[in-house]
């Protein structure tokens, strides 16, 4: 009873209300997905499918952490607003250089970065 | 009990935002941290795409140790959120137990990472040895610094729980520290497959 009233008070006062059973379920899912990632890596897929599988599982795992451990699923609009701005810049940061890299990859040979000793010469 | 808890926390909730100042501040901080690690990830991907050859992670790095560290950090995410739950429920003994476990798991993560780094150094593998190793040491090193930062914060909260348990801002501080620790976990969730498994 005390726990319930504390939860309620916490939820109304700007703190997220905890849910221990849910935390345990998410923990199980995270452990399973970690082992799944490692098992998939032992198949030694070619880079394309390997990257797709690894990124997909990483996104699912991080979403579980953000939504339930960080309580984003019950968060206030201002937090969503902050994260929307972040998401925009992250996507820009990723797709901007990536578009240039992909567009010019066929037109120039792969460049090797000189070592410090080579640069000094 | 309810009125005490509500009265204890209400003054610290921003009237226009609906969230505590601590929570708003930590989310803004995490937003800047996301940008920091995103630049590193983008740089890593571009370096990899632009290189004529690139080692597969499992040939260079210790996958079992990386897997163990992932499980350690995921477990610490559970213990820190349990510490927060116990702070909300006003159960100091259990809060201290779970926060102590979180700190222990964070230290274990650093020790395992230290063994990995030590093995590389013994083998003559340094950041200057290759672009891949430069990226590996930079990204895992920066992440380890964040783990150390989280350990310091969590340790301070563990000590403060002795005398400041009833401070009106204590639960908010625990929540903010927990959010930071989860972020550290999320960064590793992406680092592990990117460096070790691809």
SS (H, E, C) B49-107: HHCCCCCCHHHHCCHHHHHHHHHHHHHHHHHHHHHHHHHHCCCHHHHHHHHHHHHHHHH
The per-residue pLDDT for A94 is 86
State the DSSP code for A121: -
Number of separate domains in chain B? 1
8 A C-beta contact, residue B2 and residue A5? yes
- B67 and B197 in contact (C-beta within 8 Å)? no
Task: Answer yes or no: is pLDDT of A1 > 50.
Answer: no
Nearest to B73 by CA among B150, B134, B135: B150
Cα separation of B110 and B104, whole Å? 10
- Please give the residue that has the higher pLDDT: either B97 or B13: B97
What is the CA A99 to chain-centroid distance, rounded? 21
Mean pLDDT along residues B114-136: 95
Q: Which residue has the higher pLDDT, B51 or A13?
A: B51
Contact criterion met (CB below 8 Å) for A51 and A59: no
User: Which range of residues forms the domain containing residue B86?
Assistant: 2-197
Query: Is A27 a residue whose pLDDT tops 90?
Result: yes
- Report the pLDDT averaged over residues B58-68: 92
- Check residues B35 and A50 and name the one with the higher pLDDT: B35
**A46 part of contact set with chain B, CB < 8 Å:** no
| Digit-coded pLDDT (tens) for A29-78 | 999 999 999 998 888 788 778 888 888 999 999 999 999 999 999 889 99
Task: Kindly identify which residue of chain B lies nearest to residue A5, measuring between CA atoms.
Answer: B2
The pTM of this model reads 0.86
Rounded average pLDDT over B142-150: 98
What is the chain B residue with the closest CA to A70? B179
Question: A104 and B45 in contact (C-beta within 8 Å)?
Answer: no
Alpha-carbon span B132 to B138, nearest angstrom: 10
Q: B107 is written with which tokens? A: 């230290």
Position with higher pLDDT, B57 vs B4: B57
Mean pLDDT of B28-49: 92
Q: Where are the beta strands (DSSP E) in A3-64?
A: none
How many angstroms away from the CA of B166 is the closest CA of chain A?
14
Mean pLDDT of B144-169: 96
Question: pLDDT at residue B49 above 50?
Answer: yes
The mean of the pLDDT values for chain B is: 91
**Is the complex ipTM more than 0.90?**
no
Specify the higher pLDDT residue, B55 or B10: B55
For chain B, what percent of residues have pLDDT higher than 70?
92
pLDDT of amino acid A19: 86
pLDDT bucket at B48, cuts 50 / 70 / 90? confident
* Average model confidence (pLDDT) across chain A: 80
pLDDT above 60: residue A5: no
Predicted pLDDT at A106:
65
User: Cβ of B89 and A3 within 8 Å?
Assistant: yes
- Report the percent of chain A where pLDDT is more than 70: 74
In a mutational test of the B interface, the residue from A4, A10, A48, A55 whose CB has the highest number of chain B CBs within 10 Å is A10
B148 CB neighbour count, 10 Å cutoff = 14
C-beta atoms of B75 and A27 within 8 A: yes
Q: Give the CATH number for residue B177.
A: 1.20.120.80
- What integer pLDDT is reported at residue B95 of this predicted model? 97
Q: Which two tokens stand for residue B98?
A: 């779970």
Specify whether the CB–CB gap between A5 and B1 falls below 8 A: yes
Q: Which residues contact B157 (CB under 8 A, 6 or more apart)?
A: B99, B173, B174, B177
> Would you say B190 and A61 are in contact if contact means Cβ atoms under 8 Å apart?
no
Q: For residue B134, what pLDDT band results from cuts at 50, 70 and 90?
A: very high
Q: Delimit the domains of chain A by residue range.
A: 18-70
């Amino acid at each position: 009873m005390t726990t319930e009233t504390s939860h309620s008070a916490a939820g109304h006062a700007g703190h997220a209300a905890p849910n221990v059973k849910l935390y345990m379920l998410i923990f199980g899912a995270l452990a399973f997905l970690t082992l799944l990632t490692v098992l998939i890596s032992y198949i030694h897929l070619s880079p394309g499918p390997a990257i797709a599988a690894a990124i997909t599982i990483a996104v699912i795992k991080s979403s579980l952490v953000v939504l339930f451990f960080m309580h984003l699923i019950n968060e206030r609009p201002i937090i969503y607003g902050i994260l929307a701005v972040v998401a925009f810049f992250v996507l820009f940061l990723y797709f901007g250089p990536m578009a240039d890299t992909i567009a010019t990859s066929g037109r120039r040979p792969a460049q090797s970065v000189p070592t410090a000793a080579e640069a000094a010469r | 009990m309810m009125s005490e808890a509500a009265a204890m926390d209400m003054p610290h909730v921003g009237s226009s935002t609906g969230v505590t100042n601590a929570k708003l501040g930590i989310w803004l901080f995490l937003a800047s941290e996301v940008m920091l690690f995103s630049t590193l990830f983008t740089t890593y991907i571009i370096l990899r795409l632009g290189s004529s050859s690139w080692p597969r992670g499992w040939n260079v790095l210790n996958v079992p140790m990386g897997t163990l560290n992932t499980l350690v950090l995921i477990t610490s995410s559970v213990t820190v959120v349990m510490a927060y739950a116990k702070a909300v429920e006003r159960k100091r003994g259990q809060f201290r137990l779970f926060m102590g476990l979180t700190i222990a798991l964070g230290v274990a993560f650093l020790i395992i990472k230290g063994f990995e780094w030590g093995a590389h150094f013994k083998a003559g593998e340094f950041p200057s040895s290759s672009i891949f190793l430069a990226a590996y040491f930079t990204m895992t090193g920066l992440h380890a610094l964040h783990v150390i930062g989280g350990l310091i914060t969590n340790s301070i909260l563990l000590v403060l729980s002795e005398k400041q348990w009833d401070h009106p801002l204590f639960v908010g501080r625990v929540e903010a520290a927990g959010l930071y620790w989860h972020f550290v976990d999320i960064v590793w969730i992406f680092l592990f497959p990117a460096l070790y498994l691809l």
